[in-house]
Amino acid sequence: MPPCYPTMTVDQTTGAVTNQTETSWHSINWTKANREVKRLQVRIAKAVKEGRWGKVKALQWLLTHSFYGKALAVKRVTDNSGSRTPGVDGITWSTQEQKTQAIKSLRRRGYKPQPLRRVYIPKANGKQRPLGIPTMKDRAMQALYALALEPVAETTADRNSYGFRRGRCTADAAGQCFLALARAKSAEHVLDADISGCFDNISHEWLLANTPLDKGILRKWLKSGFVWKQQLFPTHAGTPQGGVISPVLANITLDGMEELLAKHLRGQKVNLIRYADDFVVTGKDEETLEKARNLIQEFLKERGLTLSPEKTKIVHIEEGFDFLGWNIRKYNGVLLIKPAKKNVKAFLKKIRDTLRELRTATQEIVIDTLNPIIRGWANYHKGQVSKETFNRVDFATWHKLWRWARRRHPNKPAQWVKDKYFIKNGSRDWVFGMVMKDKNGELRTKRLIKTSDTRIQRHVKIKADANPFLPEWAEYFEKRKKLKKAPAQYRRIRRELWKKQGGICPVCGGEIEQDMLTDIHHILPKHKGGSDDLDNLVLIHANCHKQVHSRDGQHSRSLLKEGL
């Protein structure tokens, strides 16, 4: 039996906390936790739709004080790849005892967030982007309150906002661009807009006055400051990039722009398509878009934001524009969405830099490192007009690999280098790969994949009004789950298991997302005769894997059967 701790337990009907005894981290019923929190989120979304803001506040209080809400918040910040990155206190939560104590520590009374740890990451233009890393406790508190805020933000969001929203992605934004610009009578001019330092400049006063969330907690997060080179700096504006709740706050700040343009410029072929703080506006002529620019500037000024004069411009559709890594342009009246030249250049630079770092590595390591990079980039662009670009990228990649191989053996003839590093695979020659023995002693081919191996597959755009927190859309989102693909970094077995399970963890019933830590579990252990066949394997969250192994074998198998 798992150990018990003298702490809190859960009311079975409301999910609220009472002072009794709660079992350990690995004994938590995650399927029930997901179900109960989702139920409260659905009630919040319904109350927002009905305009019952008093009910919204009461339900948010109930969720943020519930045991299951706190447990899922801790699980969220410990399940992802960033869980090993500490804040200013240097603390991470890795053991079940730490996670159990973390649930108990998530209390509003007496809560005071610590300053953010400031780090900088390089941007594509050579500049650096500041990131603020909260402590684990502050991340968990933000995740908890994000659970209560997301149903509100989703229900009040702009119809054509696609960034940081559940069930939406960049391909949906590109699909909306196609719908707004592809027809012969569609708008011919586009306002390509850029907000100067959106996350860093959002007005704290505006957020506190307009965010439907606990004002005391929100104020503490906004004013927590950051530490850089052992010095504490205050924060007077902005919400930190790196905070769990920051994307939701940014969306709330920018929501309402689409409604504003529709109100003042109706009938002018005006469409706003936004992904986070990156957006474009279509219009029938330049004069219409100048009016749209002025309206947007006033809208942003109230929120402490401005448009970048250098990066904001009005273009004709036959000139084209770049948006989310794609170039959108009409060629002789036909709209084509292709990978942008800047994006292709950045990808090839990444290949070159990776090969430079691996100049002394084995061919097997090079293949294992490059394949996820190539697969991820190709999957991102496979929904657009990318075949010609894929072929060019494959040739450029082959050229870099040939130079990498020749540099390793400067005194060997070209044919020797070719025979060592390039094989014939089917009808293809000059394939970067090798023939090797697997663990069973059988020969198999290991090769570098090509972007042109990726089949072009058109993306089905999400309906603009779809809301994952309203029950009337539940069936719609279940159908869309079948269209999802496994995270790009997964190798063959993980991809097959992900597809077989529909991207759902059979232990907790939660989704397996891109940045989550996962393990492959043997249903019948190998030491008891279990095989490596797919029928005996499941892909589960790393945390759920620990939970399964913390219980006795019979209980573990029943836990998995319930989920499956």
Give dist(CA 477, CA 462) in Å, integer.
9
Q: Domains, the chain, ranges and CATH? A: 22-156+203-231 (no CATH), 158-202+237-338 (3.30.70.270), 341-453 (no CATH), 484-550 (no CATH)
- What does the radius of gyration of the chain's CA atoms come to, in whole angstroms? 26
pLDDT at 559: 55
pLDDT at 319: 96
Closest CA to 255 of 158, 149, 152, 155: 158
Q: What is the pLDDT along the chain (564 residues), one digit of tens a residue?
A: 333 433 444 454 444 443 334 568 888 999 899 999 999 999 999 999 999 999 999 999 999 999 999 999 999 999 887 888 899 999 999 888 999 999 999 999 999 999 999 988 877 666 778 888 999 999 999 999 999 999 999 999 999 999 999 999 999 999 999 999 999 999 999 999 999 988 889 999 999 999 999 999 999 999 999 999 889 999 898 887 778 999 999 999 999 999 999 999 999 999 999 999 999 999 999 999 999 999 999 999 999 999 998 889 999 999 999 999 999 999 999 999 999 999 999 999 999 999 999 999 999 999 999 999 999 999 999 999 999 999 999 999 999 999 999 999 999 999 999 999 999 988 899 999 998 877 777 788 999 999 999 999 999 999 999 999 999 999 999 888 877 777 766 777 888 888 888 888 888 888 888 777 788 888 888 777 777 788 888 898 888 888 887 765 544 555 555 544
Which residue has tokens 């044919």?
415
Q: What is the CB neighbour count within 10 angstroms for residue 510?
A: 22
Task: List 116's β-bridge partners, or say none.
Answer: 226
For 191, phi and psi rounded to 5 degrees? -90, 110
Helices (H), 334-473: 341-357, 363-381, 387-408, 414-421
Give dist(CA 10, CA 256) in Å, integer.
38
- Using alpha carbons, list the distances in angstroms from residue 540 to 167, 311, 429, 497: 21, 44, 39, 10
pLDDT at 5: 38
Three-state SS at 523: coil
Give dist(CA 539, CA 521) in Å, integer.
6
Task: Count each helix (H run) and each strand (E run) in the chain, helices first.
Answer: 20, 20
Give dist(CA 103, CA 136) in Å, integer.
11
pLDDT at 529: 73
- Using alpha carbons, list the distances in angstroms from residue 426 to 363, 416, 431, 445, 453: 20, 21, 10, 11, 14
The amino acid present at 547, given as its one-letter code, is: Q
Give dist(CA 213, CA 149) in Å, integer.
7
pLDDT at 557: 54
Strand order in the sheet with 278-283: 271-275, 278-283, 189-194, 313-316
Burial of 258 (0-12, 13-18, 19+ CB in 10 A): buried
Long-range CB pairs of 546-551, under 8 A, 24+ apart, other chains included: 546/26, 546/96, 547/25, 547/26, 547/28, 547/30, 547/507, 548/507, 548/521, 550/2, 550/26, 550/96, 551/2, 551/26
Burial of 267 (0-12, 13-18, 19+ CB in 10 A): exposed
Give dist(CA 505, CA 521) in Å, integer.
11
Give dist(CA 505, CA 560) in Å, integer.
9
Give yes or no for a contact between 341 and 321, defined as CB atoms under 8 angstroms apart: no
